[in-house]
Amino acid sequence: MSPSVYPPGEEFARKAHVQGLEAYRELYSRAERDPEGFWGEVAAREVHWFEPWSRVLDWNPPFARWFADAKTNVSYNCLDRHAASHRKNQAAILWEGEPGDQRALTYQELHRLVVRFAWVLKSRGYRAGDRAIIYMPMVPELPIAMLACARLGIIHSVVFGGFSAEALKARIQDLGAALVITADGGFRRGKQVRLKPAVDEALQDCPGVRETIVYRRTGSEIPMQSGRDFWWHDLDAAASEDCPAEHLDSEHPLYVLYTSGTTGKPKGILHTTGGYLTHITATMKWVFDLRQEDTYWCSADIGWVTGHSYVVYGPLSAGATTLMYEGAPDFPRFDRWWRIIEKYRVNIFYTSPTAIRALIRQGEQWPDAHDLSSLRLLGSVGEPINPAAWEWYYRVIGKQRCPIVDTWWQTETGGILIAPMPGAVPLKPGSATLPLPGAVPGIVDLHGQPVGDNREGFLILRQPWPGMIRNIWGDPERYKEQYWSRVPGAYFTGDAARRDSDGYYWILGRVDDVMNVSGHRLSTMEVESALVRHPAVAEAAVVGKPHEITGQAVCCFVTLKRGDWNHDQLGEELRQWVSREIGAFARPEEIRFSDALPKTRSGKIMRRLLREIVTSNSVTGDVTTLEDLSVVARLAAQQDEE
Ligand code: PRX
C-alpha cells in the first residue's frame, strides 16, 4: 500500500517563503549547480558581517572553512541588529517557569542583560578562545550565558542539566574549561533539581577551573566556596552596559557540544561561527516558514543540539519570538503544553516523537480541552516518527490544518538537512521528505556504491555544508576516522535510510552502536563502561530495545563476579548506578543477568545477536563465529520464561 500524501494547503502555500514544488526544485538545483554562489548569497542576506569574505568555501577534505577571512559575531546577529531595528520592543524570549512564573524579554532587554553578563566575563579576564561550561536549568540566564560567551568568543559547552557529576567532570576535563556557569538548581515535576552540588563534586577533579558563577533560581541553601564561587546577581550588580561584540573570524569556535559516539568516551562536536549561523538562520525560514508575527516554541532542552540551533541561535538570529518552558510536560497535569500553546498563542510548535507518543497515551481529552487554533505549523525531530504518531499529531494537535515538518539532522550537521519546505513539498507521514537546498545526501552500500530506489543503505552526505561539524575537540584523527573514512570523500551519518521513487528519504535508525532513547543519543559503550565500573560486574553488553514510547530503551546483559548476589536488589542498584554515572535519562529499563555473553572467536561481544534476542526472542542471523552457541540459547530461553 502506498502511504498517504498530504500536499501543502492552498492558504498555507500562498503565504509561504517557498511556494510550490517547482520553486523548491529551482532553489535546490541552483544550490546544486553552484553551491558556493548559492551559500554566498544566503550568507549575505541572512547574516550581518563586519568584514566580507574573499572565498566562500575552503575545502581541504575533511576540513572545511566557510567564509574564512570574513568577520562576524553570533551575539551581534541575535541581538544588536534586532535591538537597533523595529524589533527592539518585540519579545525575543517568552519564558515560563514550571511553578508558573513568567518573564518576557524584549530584544532590547535581552541585549542589555547579555551585554552586562559579557562585561562581567570580560572584567574577570575571560577572552576569546577560553572555554566555559554552562550547566543550568531552562531559565533565560542559560541563553544569556551562551550569548555572552559568543559575544566575546569564549567557547561554550552546555551540559544538559540531567547529566550527572561524573559526566559533567569528563566534559569539563576534555574541554579544559576555566569557568563553570551554573545555578543552585531548577524545578522539575514540582521538585527542586539541584545542580550546584554536582558541580562541587565534579570540580574536586578539575584543577583547571578557576571560578564558578552561580545563578539563583530555586533559592535553596547551597555551599559557596569563597574565592571560587560567585553569585550571578552580585557580579551583575556591578556590571557596566558597555561591552561591544568582538569582531570574530567566521571560523572562530562558537561551541563544543558533547554527544555519544561508538566508544565509551563522548565526543566534543565543534561548531564555528559564520557558516553555522548562515545555515540555522536560513533553515528557520525554509523549514519553519517563520513570519514576523509568529510565536515559535521548540520544546527541546537547550542542553541538546536542537536547543542550541532551534531554541536559541536560529530563532534569535531570525528575529523570532522564542518560547522557553522550564519544566515537565505533565506538571501539574498532562495538559501543561497545550495550556502553554493556548496561553501564548503559539503558532509553530516543534517537539520529538517520544513526547508525542507519551502524550497520545494520556488521551485526547487533554489537548481537546484547549484552544489550539493559533497553531500554523508543527515539527518533529530526533528520531523517526511512526505514521500512527504522525497522524495523531496532525489530527488532534494540528486539526488537519497544520503541515508537519519532520526534520532530519544531527548534532554534527549543526542544522536541519532533510525536511520539507512546508509550502512546497507534499508530506508523507514517516518520511523527512526531500533534502534542503545545499544538502546532497546519498544512500550507499558497504562499498560506497549507490543502492537503487526503495533499497536500504547507509545515509551519507556528498558535499560540505556551512553548519557542518568542523572537528572533534582535541581529536582530529577520530573526526577523520568516524565520519570520513567509511565512504571516501563523503560524510558518514551513521544512519540507515531508503529513498523512494519520488526521491523521499525514509530514515530507519542508527547502524552503529548508538541507541536513540527519547530522541537522545546514548552509546552502548558508555553504559557498558559505567556498568563495569561497579564492583559486582564482570562484563556487560548493552543494546537498544524497541520501546513503545521512547523509541528505544536501554537493555543490559550483565555477567557478575563470583559472589552471592541477590539479582533483584543488584538489578535496582545497577540501574541507579548508571543514572549516577551518566544521568537519569540513561537509566536502564532492563538488566538481565547471564553467566556468559555471546562472543566471536576474537572475543568481541556480538551485540547484533543480543539485539535480536531483545527484539524478537530468537536468533536467526549468522552465528558461525560464535564461541559458545549455548550462551545464546540460554539468553533467549530466559526471556521466554519471563
Ligand atoms: O538517527 C538519527 C536521529 O537522531 C540522530 C541524531 O541525534 P542527535 O545528534 O542527538 O541529534 C538529534 C536532534 C537533531 C540521527 O543520526 N534523527 C534525528 N532526526 C531524525 C532522526 N531520525 C529520523 N527522523 C528524524 N527526523
Q: Which DSSP string corresponds to 543-597?
A: EEEEETTTEEEEEEEEEE-SS---HHHHHHHHHHHHHHHTBGGG--SEEEE-S--
Q: Quick check: 230 and 212 in contact, CB under 8 A?
A: yes
Q: Which amino acid is at 50?
A: F
Ligand 1, atom 24, residue with closest C-alpha:
384
> d(Cα 632, Cα 127) in Å, to the nearest integer?
56
Ligand 1, atom 4, residue with closest C-alpha:
382
Q: Give the per-residue pLDDT at 499.
A: 98
Q: Give the per-residue pLDDT at 626.
A: 56
With a cut of 70, list the residues of the chain below it in pLDDT.
1-3, 617-630, 633, 636-642
Ligand 1 neighbours, Cβ below 6 Å, are 259, 305-306, 381-384, 406-411, 432, 493-495, 507, 509-510, 516, 521
CATH 3.30.300.30 segments of the chain = 518-641
Helices then strands, each counted (H, E), the chain? 22, 30
- Output the CA 440–ligand 1 centroid distance in Å: 17
Task: Ligand 1, residue 304: give the atom nearest the CA.
Answer: 10
Ligand 1, atom 13, residue with closest C-alpha:
382
Ligand 1, atom 18, residue with closest C-alpha:
382
Best mutation site among 259, 352, 407, 409 for ligand 1 pocket (most ligand atoms within 8 Å of CB): 409
Task: Ligand 1, residue 509: give the atom nearest the CA.
Answer: 1
| Residues shown for the chain | 642
- Output the CA 226–ligand 1 centroid distance in Å: 43
Ligand 1, atom 11, residue with closest C-alpha:
410
Task: Ligand 1, residue 385: give the atom nearest the CA.
Answer: 24
Q: Quick check: 598 and 605 in contact, CB under 8 A?
A: yes
- Output the CA 510–ligand 1 centroid distance in Å: 9
Q: State the fold for domain 518-641.
A: GMP Synthetase; Chain A, domain 3 (3.30.300)
Going by C-alpha positions, the residue among 209, 338, 273 that lies closest to residue 76 is 273
> d(Cα 455, Cα 451) in Å, to the nearest integer?
6
Domain 85-90+106-267, CATH: 3.40.50.980
- Output the CA 2–ligand 1 centroid distance in Å: 25
State if pTM tops 0.85.
yes
Ligand 1, atom 25, residue with closest C-alpha:
408
- Output the CA 22–ligand 1 centroid distance in Å: 28
Cell 553551491 locates to: 35
Best mutation site among 160, 356, 383 for ligand 1 pocket (most ligand atoms within 8 Å of CB): 383
Q: Give the per-residue pLDDT at 1.
A: 46
CATH 3.40.50.980 segments of the chain = 85-90+106-267
> CB burial class (10 A; 0-12, 13-18, 19+) of residue 548?
exposed
- Output the CA 520–ligand 1 centroid distance in Å: 8
Task: Ligand 1, residue 432: give the atom nearest the CA.
Answer: 26
Task: Ligand 1, residue 520: give the atom nearest the CA.
Answer: 10
> d(Cα 298, Cα 70) in Å, to the nearest integer?
31
Q: At what angle do helices 165-175 and 196-203 cross, to 10 degrees?
A: 60
In angstroms, the Cα distances linking 279 to 151, 185, 310, 313 are: 19, 33, 11, 11
Task: Ligand 1, residue 380: give the atom nearest the CA.
Answer: 26
Backbone angles phi, psi at 209, to 5 degrees: -80, 120
